[in-house]
Amino acid sequence: MALFEIFDPKAAPRPIGIDLGTTNSLVAYVKDGRPEVIADCNADRLLPSVVFYDEHGGAVVGRAAQARAAESPRETIVSVKRCMGKGGDDPETRRLGPYAFAPPAEGEANVVRFDVRGRRLTPVEVSADILRALKQLAEDELRSVGPAVITVPAYFDDAQRQATKDAGRLAGLDVLRLLNEPTAAALAYGLDKKKDGTFCVYDLGGGTFDVTVLLLEDGVFQVKSTGGDSALGGDDMDRAVAEEIFRVADLPPERRTPAIIRAVLDTSRALKHQLTEREAASAPSPLGVGPAELTLARSRFDELIAPILERTGVACRRAMKDAGLRGEALDGVILVGGATRVPAVRAYVKKLFGKEPLADIDPDAVVAMGAALQAHLLAGEGHKDEVLLLDVLPLSLGIEVGGGVVDKILPRNTTIPTGARATYTTQEDNQTGFQIHVVQGERELVADCRSLARFTLKGIPPMAAGMARLEVRFDVDADGILSVTAKETTTGLEQHVEVVPSYGLDDDAIEAMLLDALDHGEEDLEKRRLAEGQVEAHRMVLATRKGLAADAELLAPGERELIAAAVAALEEAAAGASAAAIQSRISDLDHATRAFAERRMNAAIAKATLGQRLDAVEKTVEHAKGIDLAHAEGTRAVG
């Protein structure tokens, strides 16, 4: 006989962990010290991440919404996670999908907006409806729900993380933290198995792929490296099968209506699920043309998804290289995400790492379980010394300096939360402000990186070039969200911004950033040297001309002509494309102006120290060093 569970109305709200997935979502909590995924009244733990909007504006979430997708494809939003933080013109939002999209109104941010029955819905709003359904499911089980930890792909950028956090708040959740999905999986796996060692988490979900190398040691979960693709997953397998169905039926794109596309995608997913257990799959054709029965052999399916698996392999090999490890050095490979149930995926992972992957914990549930454990600890209900999570930045963060060059302040794979600072100066006389341009990526030039934010620090008193000092500090919190502080040290002027981009990266943009950095490494370094040389050449020419105008009487006979020739040669080199030539001409100008610069410094010191005390003289000497602008310190200049 089953026992009734007695509910205490005075019990404190229970913290929850949420896996907000592309295909399915789950919610879990800690019961008697162990994580437990909450099931609905049909004993189903997976809530399909599907939302149907009816004619009255109501939202239906889950399997009931899934059932409406074929007949109402434009009113049923599927895989919305792939649109989180994306721009309205992002190609990911246009790939083999039946949706109608609304352009941004004047003054609105360029984010994805679904046009549903005249409503303009953003991915944040759709995700909030999914989170509300999960919250309601938890309240049905726990009566009172406390703060939440929501998981995100490790490769989500700032915009995608902010969008997820906003969706949680819109759903009425107190979001304690965003937790990277591979770290959550390792947390659940490590605490459940009580194992230490170095593990690789291979996380292939419905719409995102992450690979993370972690060291689990005495309760410390340290991320050694991370990689992946924020637009790669089981959905791409469905699309590959759908394209095969369209090819076999010879149905051109202009005849693929939204209803047909939705029906073919659903059929493709059903065939994929069958092939997890069978060597061949079949389903009725939804097309009305071609064969009435669709059949697909596992061998053909494996061929279709082979390019997808190879893309995951590229990220895995790079993550292992970043961690300084080979496959044999791993203690295990943990499979996470529903797409890892596909036999070809497991075979590929085994071949890639040279060992059988670990999949004895449900790959669909393990992320939610880890999130529940972390929520339990952060809410103070566990022992905080039980576990320490150390995540890392997936991409470098920096600012633009003179010549369009990126100065990296926080390199990728830096453990978070973290902070770092750097000091910069002006490049023009009487410059009264700094333009701060924050960028993300691995390339050397700003044009090849992702722009995150721009702002201006104004009100700096006019000074000679190189005299002002700007201190820029980057701080990244435990959620991986960046804030920037800029302070001019001589005046104390300060500005602080939390970097909130209006939309996220393009399809494969993060992956492309890293691959481009590898493919164009030498080329980028040469471009950087050229840009930096041109900036230095411009500074030296201005400083030299300023010195000639101010102290012409100190010139030796014939010296002006010699210096003028060196300046002309440097300007000619700076207009070219050879960094080596610019450096050579900078050295020539340095040599030509050295004696003149020394006479200027001596004259300035003699004039300033006449009749002064020794301590005052020392300060004057330090200040006089600034006169020798041709030999000034190498503080980077910001516009």
CA dist., res. 638 & res. 624, Å (int): 23
**Contact (CB, 8 A) for 29 and 38:** yes
- Please provide residue 386's backbone torsions phi and psi, each rounded to the nearest 5 degrees: -65, -40
111 contacts: CB under 8 Å, gap ≥ 6:
85, 86, 87, 88, 104, 122, 123, 502, 503
3-state helix, strand, coil in the chain (%, to 5): 40, 25, 35
Q: Distance from CA of residue 598 to its chain's centroid?
A: 50
**Contact (CB, 8 A) for 53 and 59:** yes
Residues designated as active site: 19, 81, 181, 203
Q: In what side-by-side order are the strands of the sheet with 209-217?
A: 332-336, 197-204, 209-217, 220-229, 388-392, 415-416
Which pair of structure tokens corresponds to residue 532?
Answer: 């930096």
Compute how many other C-beta atoms are within 10 angstroms of the C-beta atom of residue 519.
11
Compute how many other C-beta atoms are within 10 angstroms of the C-beta atom of residue 328.
8
CA dist., res. 98 & res. 235, Å (int): 14
The amino acid at residue 310 is: E
Helix (H) or strand (E) holding 302, with range, is helix 298-323
CA dist., res. 240 & res. 228, Å (int): 20
CA dist., res. 451 & res. 302, Å (int): 38
Q: Are β-strands 482-488 and 470-476 bridged in parallel, bridged antiparallel, or unpaired? A: antiparallel
CA dist., res. 28 & res. 587, Å (int): 66
**Contact (CB, 8 A) for 368 and 27:** yes
Pick the closest to residue 49 from 58, 38, 60 (CA basis). Answer: 60
CA dist., res. 67 & res. 50, Å (int): 10
The number of C-alpha atoms within 13 Å of 538 and in the hemisphere containing its C-beta is 15
CA dist., res. 351 & res. 433, Å (int): 56
Q: Could you give the C-alpha distances from 614 to 188, 444, 611, 617, 627, in angstroms and in order?
A: 68, 47, 10, 5, 20
